[in-house]
Chains A and B, each alone.
Chain A
């Protein structure tokens, strides 16, 4: 509880007596200052650190900066610095309310030190508890983030698993069926002693098995893509994209990198894989000897919006959903895993990818990536 008495409300002698009593008991400290703020007299154990004959700010540091306010005080006004501890060496003062009044009957000022509150212990305990609560809240928040990340990973793993099962049952079923037919054909040709047909069918069998082996390897590569360096890194996005473009065989395709590419804390490997696969896709499927790929980045505050556009043959609207599935290729070139891998990488950091119309009168494909700056790891 604060104890503050306006000493100007009682007559001079009474207040001197009262002040003297309070000062002696250590409840108040009383200091008289002259017009230049030099300490002239002091009373009470609370004022022992105040140096007589020196400017008050020499020993009462909290008054530094308030000299003008004090000198301009008029009768009845006060400068108050509440709830302050002056730490001098290893021996701090108690918590004090410092008040400076203009002294009406003399030239100068009266400064009082009042002890702050007797419920100090309770306040400290409350403050300790407030801090402990904040710490606990921060920990809960961190745990919630960790849980959310684990759930997201689990969801992604489930999606991957479902997708994997769908690919295995759908895309590998065809080659398996072909193998079955080939074995029947070989048996029949052998029964008919048709050596030439057996040789031909065996060559087909080898082709089908190597295609299945390649598909399985591609699937494995797709499943593990981007998981090797799942740690946040400081990434200069422009430098990384320049490096990606430099590492790809261009042929006659020019690549322009435009826009605002900031440095961010993100997962470098997925970023590399997403951009690399889209740029490579534009180069590989281009139908002309000369062409242009434009890579633009716009900083949207919480995310980067990256557009990768080419002037190749484009992708018909009916294929816009299926091209992101593994093994989908429209012109028979490539493995059909590039766009699937790009999509997987973008979604791994909570971003999104879409194919957009190239625009009226323009040819080519345009992909838009939203890459969030904040990645939960």
Chain B
């Protein structure tokens, strides 16, 4: 199975680690544990009959939100095949920062897949109205909930398909 490196980027406390843990362990922990540096997970997407003969072994790089855009110049991003930029639907500032991060990734790694995960969709105060710059951005976005699991695996399946199509 082909290993492919995928980055989880985004501001502090948006739920990057929760998404990784929901995907890999199918669990959710309400106790916040900040990621210091980078946590590296492995997750396999099985081949789908009729769609792909080969599966993808994702190496998920769950990054510290404190890196900001500086991560684009660090060794961590090297050879990344894709990235998800995560935002928190209850904190507008984190959503506003997503476009800049997404564009920075695509600038550093041209041609790679990049997607937006609009996380915490289960929260009562999750916004329906996105910042205009996010609405108008061409990077695909999907609402996710690491707590309920909504769209988490689906997002990674989409990324796997995009990676296969692009050949990275």
Contacts and interface: CB of A to CB of B under 8 A. Distances in A.
Interface string B64-78: 101000000001101
B3 A57 contact: yes
Given A84-B40, A85-B40, A131 B33 contact: no
11 contacts: A62-B38, A65-B5, A83-B38, A90-B25, A124-B36, A127-B12, A127-B36, A127-B66, A265-B128, A265-B129, A302-B132
Given A130-B12, A131-B34, 9 more contacts: A61-B3, A65-B5, A80-B75, A81-B76, A82-B75, A83-B37, A83-B38, A127-B12, A232-B129
Contacts of B37: 82-85, 95, 116
Contacts of B128: 232, 265
Interface size class on chain A is: 35 or more
A65 B93 contact: no
A62 B63 CA distance: 12
B107 interface: no
Interface of A: 57, 61-62, 64-66, 69, 79-88, 90, 92, 95, 116, 120, 123-124, 127-128, 130-131, 134-135, 137-138, 141, 232, 265, 301-302, 373-374
Contacts of A131: 12-13, 32, 34
A80 B78 CA distance: 12
B90 A138 contact: yes
B75 A83 contact: no
A134 B36 contact: no
Contact of B59 (A61, A123, A138): A61
A374 B42 contact: no
Contacts of B41: 87
Interface residues of B, number: 34
Nearest to B133: A301
A108 B38 CA distance: 27
B75 A134 contact: no
Given A138-B91, A232-B128, A62 B40 contact: yes
A300 B25 CA distance: 46
B129 A64 contact: no
B36 A87 contact: no
Contact of B78 (A65, A82, A232, A373): A65
B80 interface: yes
Contacts of A86: 40
Interface string B51-88: 00000000101001010000000011011100000000
A127 B132 contact: no
Contacts of B5: 64-65
B66 A88 contact: no
Given A131-B32, A232-B129, A85 B39 contact: yes
B99 to A, nearest CB: 14
A69 B78 CA distance: 10
B92 interface: yes
B123 interface: no
Given A134-B13, A135-B13, A65 B40 contact: no
* Interface hub of A83, A116, A232 (most chain B Cβ within 10 A): A83
A90 B24 CA distance: 10
A258 B32 CA distance: 52
A120 B36 contact: yes
A84 B67 CA distance: 13
A66 B78 contact: yes
